[in-house]
């Protein structure tokens, strides 16, 4: 009988956000796949989780995948965690999940912490329709992607490092207009968490003057939809007929 893969979100800051069910699954698993065993080791020690951990990250996931599939097909229960948040959201996880689905191995993803949801709600921007862009390309394809997003009408969500934040905000302002509303959330759920709202131009100025630290989520207002003007292509002939009848 095949085993099962659990994808387990871990706290993005406050350890109180870790669910009892997630802790129990990690304790009972045969193995925990961790993006960085040193980072995850601190979390496991705090909660008394002694399950064996194995390194699983973007640089080795292709190489380790066949052996992991063999273990899962042999009946093992494996849990996957990332350094913080939900695996596969800008972190490793998609590859092993897809392979499990292909081979008919059960996958269960637990609900839990992820940075973009609280950042989106905190922003005060529309939450009914949004697109998650994660990290923009650092070099190749960056300008093209920004140009494509200039006409996006849904609220947009980006992850960014503090070192590139001011530059990215400036590029967003250049492509979308400096008066576009946006927010920047940092260190979500941690002691010094904050959210700054304003236009892109205002945020560029603020974060140029105030060097940011910590994990960053940018939320940007979508482009306002153009007015829908219905054009009657037969209007000219209708008007002409009315004239002829006079």
DSSP 76-117: -EEEEE-SSB-TTSSSS-HHHHHHHHHHT-EEEEPP---SHH
Q: Which CATH architecture has domain 116-220?
A: 2-Layer Sandwich (3.30)
Q: HEC string of 29-86?
A: CCEEEECCHHHHHHHHHHCCCCCCEEECCCCCHHHHHHHHHHHHHCCCEEEEECCCEC
How many angstroms separate the most distant Cα atoms in the chain? 93
Average of per-residue pLDDT across 60-87: 96
**Per-residue pLDDT, 239:** 54
Alpha carbon 232 to chain centroid, angstroms: 43
Lowest mean pLDDT among 64-73, 215-224, 225-234: 225-234
Q: Using one digit for the tens of pLDDT, what is the confidence trace for 228-245?
A: 444 455 555 455 554 454
To the nearest whole number, what is the mean pLDDT of the chain?
Answer: 92
Using a CB cutoff of 8 Å and minimum separation of 24, what contacts does 223-230 make?
A: 223/150, 223/151, 223/152, 223/153, 223/176, 224/153, 225/153
Q: What end-to-end distance do the CA atoms of the chain give, in Å?
A: 86
To the nearest 10°, report the CA torsion of 225, 230, 233, 237.
-150
**Could you tell me the pLDDT band of residue 70, with boundaries at 50, 70 and 90?**
very high
| Cα radius of gyration (the chain) | 24
pLDDT for residue 108 is more than 70: yes
**Per-residue pLDDT, 2:** 82
Extents of the domains making up the chain: 4-109, 116-220
State which CATH number among 3.40.50.150, 3.40.228.10, 3.40.50.970, 3.40.1010.10 fits the domain covering 4-109.
Answer: 3.40.1010.10
pLDDT for residue 214 is more than 50: yes
């Amino acid at each position: 009988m095949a085993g099962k893969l659990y994808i387990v979100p871990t706290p993005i800051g406050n350890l109180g956000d870790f669910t009892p069910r997630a802790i129990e699954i990690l304790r009972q698993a045969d193995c925990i796949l961790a993006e960085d065993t040193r980072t995850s080791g601190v979390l496991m020690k705090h909660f008394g989780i002694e399950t064996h951990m194995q390194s699983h990250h973007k640089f080795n996931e292709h190489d380790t995948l066949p052996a992991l599939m063999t273990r899962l097909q042999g009946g093992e229960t494996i849990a996957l965690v990332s350094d913080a948040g939900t695996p596969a959201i800008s972190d490793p996880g998609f590859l092993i999940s897809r392979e499990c689905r292909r081979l008919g191995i059960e996958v269960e993803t637990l609900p839990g912490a992820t940075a973009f949801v609280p950042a989106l709600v905190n922003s005060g921007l529309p939450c009914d329709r949004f697109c998650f862009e994660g990290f923009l390309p650092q070099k190749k394809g960056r300008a093209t992607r920004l140009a494509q997003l200039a006409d996006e009408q849904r609220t947009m969500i980006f992850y960014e490092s503090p070192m590139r934040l001011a530059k990215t905000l400036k590029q967003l302002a250049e492509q979308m207009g400096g008066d576009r509303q946006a927010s920047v959330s940092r260190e979500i759920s941690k002691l010094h968490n904050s959210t700054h709202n304003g236009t892109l131009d205002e945020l560029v100025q603020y974060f140029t003057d105030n060097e940011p630290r910590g994990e960053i989520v940018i939320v940007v207002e979508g482009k306002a939809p153009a007015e829908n003007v219905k054009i009657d292509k037969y209007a000219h002939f209708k008007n002409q007929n009315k004239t002829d009848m006079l």
